[in-house]
């Protein structure tokens, strides 16, 4: 009985070690697999983090660019707004002056029409009185002559009144004959001029006129006026549309009117009030720019 115990113990020990080795190997494989899986997941996590970081940087760069562009646009809009406010103030100031001048010109035009009508009425009354009181044939002939003159003067005056008036009340001549009619009134001096060729300055009365260009299709011209050493450019001036300007110390405007526009050439006149009129001559010399 005692001799069999060692044998029995040997068998049990051998049987126990047969399943421990595979278990250890299996656990080792599982551990290695877990480490590999953990390493793979770690690599994927790092790649994901890097991708997210790159996207965040790209978004930040885009936002910064958009903010910079927005700031530039805001600054430009503020500058434009400031410029517009300055232009609006200038136009408003000029409009106040123009309204005052326009009101004065309308009053002068109404007074002129009233005075003309009064003179015609007085002359007509005088002629009828002479016809009623003079009976001799010579007197009648004299009166008939005066009646004819009155009719002529009346027709001329009616023709003058039918001529277009500017916004300041002055009559606008459309051709040489109408300029002569205005000259006979004796209220203003009229200096006719013709300019052929662009960028040439021509002396006209007390100013200089330079032709910058013409548009025959639209019947418009662009001019540069030099008045008392001050230069002003006027673009797209229409035919028979007066251009007004004032000399220092004067209350009545001078005006330039273009009567005819051709290819790089114009003709018209300068109208000067008698109070500030200069010698009615137009210099023929020109100087190119």
| 135-156 per-position pLDDT tens digit | 555 555 665 666 566 556 645 6
Question: Degrees (nearest 5) of the Cα angle 37, 43, 46?
Answer: 140
Highest mean pLDDT among 5-9, 119-123, 228-232: 228-232
- Residue 283 has a pLDDT of 36
Looking only at the bridges linking them, the beta strands covering 282-288 and 207-215 are unpaired
Residue-wise pLDDT for 124-133, tens only, equals: 787 777 766 6
3-state secondary structure of 221: strand
Whole-prediction pTM: 0.43
For the cut 50, the answer to whether the pLDDT of residue 229 exceeds it is: yes
Question: Degrees (nearest 5) of the Cα angle 283, 288, 289?
Answer: 130
Question: Degrees (nearest 5) of the Cα angle 170, 174, 178?
Answer: 80
Q: Which fold has domain 188-288?
A: Tick-borne Encephalitis virus Glycoprotein; domain 1 (2.60.98)
Helices 137-162, 176-185: inter-axial angle, 10-degree rounding: 120
């Amino acid at each position: 009985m005692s001799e069999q115990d060692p044998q029995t113990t040997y068998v049990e020990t051998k049987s126990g070690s047969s399943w421990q080795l595979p278990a250890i190997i299996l656990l080792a494989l599982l551990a290695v697999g877990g480490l590999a899986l953990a390493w793979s997941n770690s690599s994927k996590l790092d790649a994901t983090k890097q991708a997210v970081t790159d996207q965040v940087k790209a978004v930040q760069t885009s936002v910064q660019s958009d903010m910079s562009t927005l700031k530039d646009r805001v600054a430009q809009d503020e500058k434009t707004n400031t410029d517009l406010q300055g232009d609006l103030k200038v136009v408003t100031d000029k409009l106040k002056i123009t309204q005052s001048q326009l009101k004065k010109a309308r009053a002068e035009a109404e007074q002129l029409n009233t005075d003309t009508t009064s003179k015609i009425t007085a002359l007509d009354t005088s002629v009828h009185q002479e016809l009623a009181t003079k009976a001799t044939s010579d007197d009648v002939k004299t009166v008939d002559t005066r009646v004819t003159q009155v009719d002529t003067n009346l027709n001329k005056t009616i023709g003058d009144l039918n001529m277009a008036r500017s916004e300041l009340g002055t009559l606008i001549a459309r051709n040489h004959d109408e300029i002569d009619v205005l000259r006979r009134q004796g209220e203003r001096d009229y200096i006719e001029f013709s300019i052929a060729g662009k960028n040439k300055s021509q002396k006209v009365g007390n100013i200089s006129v330079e032709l910058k260009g013409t548009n025959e299709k639209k019947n418009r011209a662009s001019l540069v006026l030099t008045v008392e050493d001050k230069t002003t450019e006027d673009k797209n001036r229409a035919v028979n549309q007066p251009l007004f300007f004032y000399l220092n110390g004067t209350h009545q405007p001078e005006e330039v009117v273009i009567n005819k526009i051709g290819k790089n050439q114009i003709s018209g006149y300068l109208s000067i009030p008698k109070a500030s009129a200069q010698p009615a001559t137009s210099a023929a010399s020109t100087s190119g720019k």
